[in-house]
Amino acid sequence: MTHPPAIETNGLTKVYGSGNTEVVALREATMTIERGEVVALLGPSGSGKSTLLSAVGLINPPTRGEIKIDGQVVMRGPNALVDVRRYRRERLGFIFQKSNLIPFLSALENVLVALAISGQEGRKAKRRAMELLESLGIADRAHNRPSALSGGQQQRVAIARALANRPSLLLADEPTAALDSTLGRQVMELFREVGHENQAGVLVVTHDQRALDVFDRTLSLEDGVLTEDRGSHAST
């Protein structure tokens, strides 16, 4: 059985303000990311990358256009057709420039909290969280607080947390910006690995041109216009 695409956007437009102060941050962006596909999103500052990410992350609704997750229309224009919080909880995983780990929780608990949010608690949840930390090579730091972890380790915990609920789409916003190039590349490779292994679509916003070979495809955004750099799925 073939899975529907992790995400599809159709004519996604985001307009801020109105009249003289109107700013079009995203213009008719259309794209598809299949499950298991790892896609990079490039673009200069202010090009609309974060707007696109927050739209497909069901955080900031578009002004026009449609968003489908796992084949289901979840957003039509600014109207949510589903419980977006539940969708974020069950279908999406987020990774940020800073790891954004909760400082008062250990690495393990930071993963567990994602499971707790979707109602998974107890031994089973703990086993799942430990498995994720093991797969990312940081099981030995499971009981350390974020302040006791290096930047790379923190980002791995953040990835483990994002993967905890087996999301169909992983959204990463410049996840390597705070890391050195070696570590940055390792993290990008990790995305590729987890995307393929978990059959999750991965959309990574990045400035880092050196690790683009890791991705299956590259999309570019400039002045709100989305273009495909390589591959065949995206169009404007």
Partner 1 sequence: MNLAVRDVGHNAGRFLLTAVGLGLLLMIVMGMGGIYEGIEADATLLVEEMDADLWIVQRDTRGPFAELSRLPSSMEYRALAVPGVEDARRFVTHTIQRKRHGKPLRISIVGLAWPTDRGEWLPLISGRALAQGHYEMVADQTLGLAVGEQIRLGKDVYRVVGVTRNMIGSGGDGLAFLTVADAQAVQFDSVGEATRLERAARRGRAEDMDVGLTQPGLLDRADLPAAEIPALGSPMVSAVMVRLKPGFDAETVRRSMAGWADVTVYTGAQERQLLLQGPVDRARRQIGLFRVLLVAISAIIMSLILYTMTLDKLHDIALLKLMGAKDRMILGLVLQEAFLLGGIAYVLAYFMGERLFPFFPRRVIVTGDMLLWLAVAVSVICVVGSSLGIWKAMRVEPNEVLS
Q: What is the closest distance, in whole angstroms, from the C-beta atom of residue 10 to partner 1 in the complex?
A: 22
Do 107 and 143 touch, CB atoms closer than 8 A? yes
Site for partner 1 in 93-112 (CB under 8 A): 94, 96, 100, 102-105, 109, 112
Rounded Cα distance, 217 and 231, in Å: 6
What is the phi-psi region of residue 173: left when phi exceeds 0, alpha when psi lies from -120 to 50, beta otherwise? beta
Closer Cβ to partner 1, 121 or 180, answer by number: 121
- Residue 82 Cβ, how far from partner 1 at the closest point, in Å? 12
From the centroid of its chain, how far is CA 63? 21
Size of the site for partner 1 (CB under 8 A): 31
* Contacts of partner 1 in 125-164 (CB under 8 A): 145, 161
Indicate whether 16 belongs to the interface with partner 1 (CB under 8 A): no
Work out whether 177 is an interface residue with partner 1 (CB under 8 A): no
Instruction: For 137, list phi and psi in degrees, rounded to 5.
Output: 75, 25
Give the residue with the Cβ less far from partner 1, 53 or 194.
53
Task: Kindly state the smallest distance separating residue 174's Cβ from partner 1, in Å.
Answer: 10
- Return d(Cα 163, Cα 144) in angstroms, integer: 19
* Complex with partner 1: residue 87 or 191, whichever CB lies closer: 87
- Which position among 60, 63, 199, 227 is part of the footprint of partner 1 (CB under 8 A)? 60
Among 15, 24, 82, 113, binds partner 1 (CB under 8 A): 113
Is residue 53 near partner 1 by the rule CB under 8 A? yes
Q: Is 63 in the site for partner 1 (CB under 8 A)?
A: no
Closer residue to partner 1, CB minimum distance, 3 or 86: 86
Question: Are 174 and 211 contacting, i.e. CB atoms less than 8 angstroms apart?
Answer: no
Binding residues for partner 1, per CB under 8 A?
A: 50, 53-54, 57, 59-60, 85-90, 92, 94, 96, 100, 102-105, 109, 112-114, 116-118, 121, 145, 161, 173
